[in-house]
A and B are shown apart, each in its own frame.
Chain A
C-alpha cells in the first residue's frame, strides 16, 4: 500500500552518549542485515544458474548488453590507460637508466591490477547501473510481483541470466583491456619514444607468468559476481528503500548500486591481491 510508510525508530533517552551508542548499534544491525540479505540474494542467483540451458536466449541478450555493449568503451579506456602507463613508466624508468623494463611495468600493472579493476568499474557504470534501474522499474510497476504470481521465479528469470552473462563477459572484457593496454604501452614506448619493440615484447614475455594471468581472471570472476549481485539487489528491493518512493527510489537505488559496487571492487581487489602475493 502506497500510504504505508515505515518510520525509522529513534531511540529516546536523556543522555547523548546513550543516544549515540544506540544510533551506532542500530546502524551496525542494519549493515549486518544488509550484508546477510545480499549474500542470500547472491546464493539464490548462483543456485538459479543451474537451469542455464533454459535461459540461453536471455543469457545471449545479456551478453550483448554487458559484453558487446561495453566493447568500444573498454578498448578506448584500455588504450589510453596503457598509453599513460607507458609515458609515466618511461620517464620514471629513464631516471634509473632501465627503460628496458617498460614492457614489464606496463604488462604487470595492467594484468595484475588495472585491467580487472578498471574493467569492473567501467562495466558497473555502463551495464550495472542499467541493470539496477531496469529491475527497479520492474519492481515499482508490479512486474516482479506479476512474475511471482505466475510462479515464474524472478531469480531464474532476471538474476541468473545476468550472472551467467557477466561470468562470461567479465573475463573476456578484462583480457581485452589488458591486451589493448599492452598495445597502448607499445604505442607510447616504441612508436613515440623510440624504444626497441623487441625489448618491449620480450620483457613482457619473460616477466608475466601464469600466476599473474590466473590472478587477473580470478579477480574478473569475483568482480562479475559482486557487480551483478549488488546492482540487481539494489534494484530488486527498491520498494523497501526509506529514502524515496517510485521513480526517485529507482534513481537512488541506481546511485547506491554503482557507489557500493565500486567500493566493494576496490576492497575485494585488495583482499584477493593479498591472498595472491
Chain B
C-alpha cells in the first residue's frame, strides 16, 4: 500500500431501472492525483459520475470513498462522505433564481448558521479563484457558458473538498475558454495539492496535459487504465481510433469529397430563389 485510495470501485454494475450501462467495473484512484475519465458519448461516463456521487445506487459491487464504503454508511455519515466531494456538473447546474454569489455560498447558507456577510465574503473569495469576483451579482442566465462552468467550479471548491469531480469541464467551450478551464484545474491542483481531481470528458486534447491517470470507458467496460503515454503507444484498435479521431478522420475527408447531384442542387436553388437572395 503506497498511497491511500481516494475513490475505489469494486466489481460495480451500474445502470438505471433494469438497464445496465456499466458491467462489473473495478477502478482505483489514488489520492492527490488528476485523473481523466474518457469515452465516447453513451459510454457510461455520466453514469459513473452519478454513482460515485451517490445519486444512484449500483446494482451490485461496492463504492469506497476515502476508504469507507458509501452505501453501508447510514444517514448522517453518508452525507458526510458525500460532503467530501465537490461536483462540477456539465453546464454548471447553477440555480437560476439565485445570483452567482448566492449560488457559490448556497451550501453554507443552507446547512450552516453563518451570517450573510461571512458567507458573502467566502463566496467572493472562491469566485476570485475562478476570476469572476466582478460577476457576483449577476444571475446565471446573464453569463456565458464558460463563465457558468467556472461559477460551478467555484461552488464545488467551497471548503476545499478532498475530491473534486468535473463532468465535461471543457465541452461546449471555445478553444480559449477551454484552455482557460484546463489551466484553472491545474492551478487548483497547485493550490490544493492534496485534492483528487477527476475530470470526465470526451475531449482528448484538453485533458492530456492535466491528467496523471487516464481511464477510457467503452461500451460498459474499462478499455484502458494507465498513464497517457501508454495510451499513445497502444495497439488496441478501438483506442487507436479514439486517439486518432482527433488528428485525422477518413470519414471526414470522404464527406468533404461528396457532392450533391447537379440536378438536385439546381432544384433546391430554384425552389429557394424567392426566399434567399443570390446574385
Contact = CB atoms under 8 A, between A and B. Distances in A.
Do A and B assemble together? yes
A157 interface: yes
B241 interface: no
Contacts of B79: 151
A1 B106 contact: no
B83 A146 contact: no
A1 B107 contact: no
Nearest to A148: B55
Interface string B4-42: 000000000001110101000000000000000000011
Given A1-B44, A157-B110, A146 B93 contact: yes
B105 to A, nearest CB: 11
A143 interface: yes
B53 interface: yes
Nearest to B88: A146
A1 B93 contact: no
B15 A4 contact: yes
Given A3-B42, A143-B93, A143-B94, A149 B21 contact: no
Interface in A153-179: 156-157
A152 B111 contact: yes
Contacts of A3: 41-42
A152 B110 contact: yes
Given A1-B44, A1-B47, A145 B82 contact: no
Nearest to A57: B109
A141 interface: yes
A194 interface: no
A3 B44 CA distance: 10
B197 interface: no
B122 to A, nearest CB: 15
Contacts of B44: 1
A145 B15 contact: no
Contacts of B96: 137-138, 143
A143 B53 contact: no
Contacts of A145: 50, 55, 89, 93
B111 A143 contact: no
Given A1-B42, A6-B17, A143-B96, A152 B89 contact: no
B57 to A, nearest CB: 13
B216 to A, nearest CB: 17
A150 interface: yes
B160 to A, nearest CB: 15
Given A4-B15, A6-B19, A149 B95 contact: no
Contacts of B17: 4, 6
Interface in B33-67: 41-42, 44, 46-47, 50, 53-55
B106 A4 contact: no
Contacts of A146: 87, 89, 93-95
B90 A142 contact: yes
Contacts of B50: 145
B168 to A, nearest CB: 11
Residue of A145, A146, A148 contacting most chain B CB atoms (<10 Å): A146
Interface of B: 15-17, 19, 21, 41-42, 44, 46-47, 50, 53-55, 79, 82-83, 85, 87, 89-91, 93-96, 106-107, 110-111, 155
Given A141-B91, A146-B87, 18 more contacts: A1-B46, A138-B96, A141-B93, A142-B90, A142-B93, A143-B93, A143-B94, A145-B50, A146-B93, A146-B95, A149-B53, A149-B55, A150-B155, A151-B82, A151-B107, A152-B107, A152-B110, A157-B110
8 tightest A-B contacts by CB? A142-B93, A146-B93, A142-B89, A151-B79, A149-B87, A150-B107, A3-B42, A152-B110
Interface of A: 1-4, 6, 137-138, 141-143, 145-152, 156-157
12 contacts: A1-B21, A1-B46, A3-B41, A143-B96, A145-B55, A145-B89, A145-B93, A146-B87, A146-B95, A147-B95, A149-B53, A150-B107
